[in-house]
Chains A and B, each alone.
Chain A
Amino acid sequence: MLLDISLQTDPGTISDDPVMEARRQIEICNACRYCEGFCSVFPAITRDKVFADGDITQLANLCHNCRGCYYACQYTAPHEFDLNLPRALATARVESWERLAWPQAPARLFQRHATPVALMLVVSLALLFWLISALPGGGDGFYAWLSHGAMVAIFTPAFLLPLVSIGVSLRRYWVETGGGAVTGKAMAQAIRDAGRLRNLSGGQGQGCNFEKAERFSDARRHAHQAVMYGFLLCFAATASGTVLHYVFDAPAPYGFWSMPKLLGVPGGLLLVAGCAFMLVLRRKADPALGAPGRSGGESAFIWLLGLTGLTGLILYALRGSDATGIALAIHLGTVLALFLLLPFSKMAHGFYRFAALVRDAGDR
């Protein structure tokens, strides 16, 4: 097919449109290529000469905002090319999440603003308090406060519906970016890349430029690893509880030497520490290199995620005491808010990012 050169933009024309602006900067990078070794974005750029909208969406979601390419760039302001690729890609990225979300309105609301996230939490908490006071308990441990049947009735839809929504979005993502059949090899590569956060390594393990400007640091990678693995451990803890319940007919409460606790306690600690560390790092980072107007929603989400871990740990610490009911309501309320916001908060980035890694691994 002929190269559609009409897609090319003028490098001097800065655009307000996130996709156009990202395209302009990507084209300059493709003529320069000096940052090739930092991450997967640049090698992907060099595979093309012009960039359709779907290509921009893919590149934007592949970028981990390590910021290496900003501090290394010879064309940053006051140069007339005004390069700020981390920001341009972040802007196109958050815009893509809001565009691909299903439905879109809550994504625009929760991605941008902290207050609706907090309100969602309050509503979820209130609901749980009300349920616990209104419904009879049934069983041991926290089931004495809220029966297993009630929990399943609340959390099954609260978990599955957001997953359906994310599934729809990912499908839209795949269509927009022109992804083909997924190979096992690409999947395995993407899991390795995500698992090690290879794209935050600076390409050589020196780390990223998130909070120390020109200096490299692995702090963000470590913080993110703590959050990600903490979350996955907590999730595995819950899943193992489900398996124990249904397969082995061993309902909660579980002692410390059980899978749910052995996974959940370290997971909760990691999650809390990781979120706190991440919030500290974000205060030091230059906001001009991230997506404009999303920092409120993003921070609120990190708080919510950290609170999920913290309230889980508190619930465990207070087990058997009179305060269990309150702790349970708070923890379950937080988890509920987190689940419901899954497709509409920063949490969604994990899904898109993984899809982008799979897509990239398939292209390589």
Chain B
Amino acid sequence: MNDAQALAKESWDIVIAGGGNAALCAAIEAAEAGAKVLILEGAPKAYRGGNSRHTRNFRCMHHGALGPLVESYDEQEFWADLLRVTKGETDEDLARHTIRTSAECLPWMQAHGVRFQPSLAGTLSLDRTNAFFLGGGKALVNAYYLTAEDLGVRVLYDAQVTHVAMEGRRATHVEATIGDTPLRFATRAVILASGGFQSDIDWLARAWGPSARNFLIRGTPYNRGVVLKDMLDQGAQSVGDPTQCHAVAIDGRAPKFDGGIATRLDCVPFSVVVNRDGERFYDEGEDTWPKRYAIWGRLVAAQPDQVGFSIIDSRSIDLFMPSVYPPITADTLEELAERMELPADRLIATIEAFNAACRPGEFHPQDLDGLATEGLEPPKTNWARPITEPPFYGYILRPGVTFTYLGLKVDRTARAAGPDGPYDNIWSAGEMMAGSILGQGYLAGFGMTIGTVFGRIAGQEAAAHVA
């Protein structure tokens, strides 16, 4: 009998579906309260930790310096930031609760093995609001697994949860496929923390439309929404727009899955972006890139073949962090068009029209310089400098999906709800319930905040239930 079969014979206080940040926070809290906990992580060990392994920071309220954070970031400001990005698509009570609790999370994380580092080079603007993990999210995930294992939490990898079996409002056991073996795990409480469904491309295509097949998935291939779907099929209450996902513009040559942070592209503001037909479609210089990279995901998604081409000349190559993929390089625009498989005449016409619309003025790459085109549609409102100096460089843009918004509805205690109200013994945390708080848009670092706050709550509540 292997490990998994032996563990399936035992009866558990708490079984947790998922092995990312939310699952681990829940496991640690529950084990510290004395519960007997089993984590079923769908990914193999090398890929454990879901999207959490790709993260770099979490957003945290604080009064005065805290850990790596400087100055203060109070509830009001945090809430205002959240309101702005979600355009009101948030549950104020849950959101404020998350914000307030975030402050005590940072020391809790440190006490459980997470280390922080000062804001990374090039991210100074975040040093007040976001605490960066030393080594990134995988280091955080490693630290939590070690802490959890030291507390006696058991972990099965390659353990895909397929079904939460219920009697009325009570979960009775969890069904999972470990490797190829289907097994049942009897348990007194269940915590669901298995992320969104963005890696099920068929589901994504049904929700968003067939163009979603051309999207790249920035994170783990293991978040396929299997548990989410199982729960929704059983009548669980949901939140979040089921058709929407958060997508940003990334390098089009990135891997289909798990490209993570390294595939980002920073060239757009200094470039002209055309679609497959060589036509411009949006103001590239509307604002600084950190404020715009999210909308470019959608903009590119709306173009034919869901692809964009960002073109600069040699004067701009040193203005941004190079992409991890080398640019496509050519001495003439014609050659560049050929290499990028664009219609050369259209591209040249577009660039010439753009160049002709550029006006003399001061070019300031770091600030909104107001150097705008004249009489061009769509305009470029900043950094509009003619593209004339060879060599010319091109980068390919595609939408990269971060997460989906559809999730389980929970209350302040992280408890999920079925058709007849809250379940007796099912809690949910992390991306799987984040739609309650983040109904639209995204606030950097807030995914980990939600996961940490609600993961801990779910662990505490489930442990109290089984105590």
A35 contacts across to B, CB distance below 8 A:
135-136
Chain A proximity mask over B255-287: 1 for CB below 8 Å, otherwise 0: 100101111100000000000000000000000
A357 contacts across to B, CB distance below 8 A:
none
Q: Is the CB of A32 within 8 A of B46?
A: no
Q: Is the CB of A28 within 8 A of B122?
A: no
A236 to B328 Cα, complex, angstroms: 58
Q: Is the CB of A33 within 8 A of B120?
A: yes
A34 to B56 Cα, complex, angstroms: 7
- B177 located at the interface, meaning its Cβ lies under 8 Å from any Cβ of chain A in the complex: no
Q: Is the CB of A214 within 8 A of B146?
A: yes
Contacts A2-B314, A77-B46, A215-B146 given; indicate if A203 touches B134 (C-beta within 8 A). Answer: yes
Q: Is the CB of B135 within 8 A of A69?
A: yes
Q: Is the CB of A11 within 8 A of B325?
A: yes
A262 contacts across to B, CB distance below 8 A:
none
A46 to B322 Cα, complex, angstroms: 11
A74 to B53 Cα, complex, angstroms: 6
Chain B proximity mask over A125-168: 1 for CB below 8 Å, otherwise 0: 00000000000000000000000000000000000000000000
A19 to B371 Cα, complex, angstroms: 42
Q: Is the CB of B317 within 8 A of A5?
A: yes
Q: Is the CB of B261 within 8 A of A10?
A: no
A28 to B260 Cα, complex, angstroms: 11
- Number of A positions contacting B (CB below 8 A): 41
Q: Is the CB of A11 within 8 A of B321?
A: no
B5 contacts across to A, CB distance below 8 A:
none
Give residues 433-448 of B contacting A (CB, 8 Å): none
Nearest B residue (CB) for A29? B262
Of A2, A3, A36, A76, the contact of B117 (CB 8 Å cutoff): A36
Q: Is the CB of A80 within 8 A of B255?
A: yes
In the assembled complex, how far is the CB of residue B345 from the closest CB belonging to chain A, in whole angstroms?
A: 27
In the assembled complex, how far is the CB of residue A86 from the closest CB belonging to chain B, in whole angstroms?
A: 13
- Number of B positions contacting A (CB below 8 A): 41
- Stretch among B137-145, B231-239, B378-386, B423-431 lining the A interface: B137-145
Contacts A68-B135, A72-B136, A73-B138 given; indicate if A36 touches B120 (C-beta within 8 A). Answer: yes
Q: Is the CB of B261 within 8 A of A49?
A: no
Q: Is the CB of B115 within 8 A of A31?
A: no
Contacts A5-B327, A10-B325 given; indicate if A72 touches B318 (C-beta within 8 A). Answer: no
A36 contacts across to B, CB distance below 8 A:
117, 120-121
Q: Is the CB of B317 within 8 A of A3?
A: yes
Q: Is the CB of B138 within 8 A of A5?
A: no
- B329 located at the interface, meaning its Cβ lies under 8 Å from any Cβ of chain A in the complex: yes
Of B54, B261, B263, B322, the contact of A50 (CB 8 Å cutoff): B322
Nearest B residue (CB) for A68? B135
Give residues 129-179 of B contacting A (CB, 8 Å): 133-139, 142-143, 145-146
10 tightest Cβ-Cβ pairs between the two chains A and B? A72-B135, A34-B136, A37-B117, A72-B139, A8-B326, A31-B324, A31-B262, A46-B121, A3-B318, A214-B142
Chain B residues with CB under 8 Å of chain A are 46-47, 53-54, 56, 115, 117-118, 120-122, 133-139, 142-143, 145-146, 255, 258, 260-264, 314, 317-318, 321-327, 329, 393
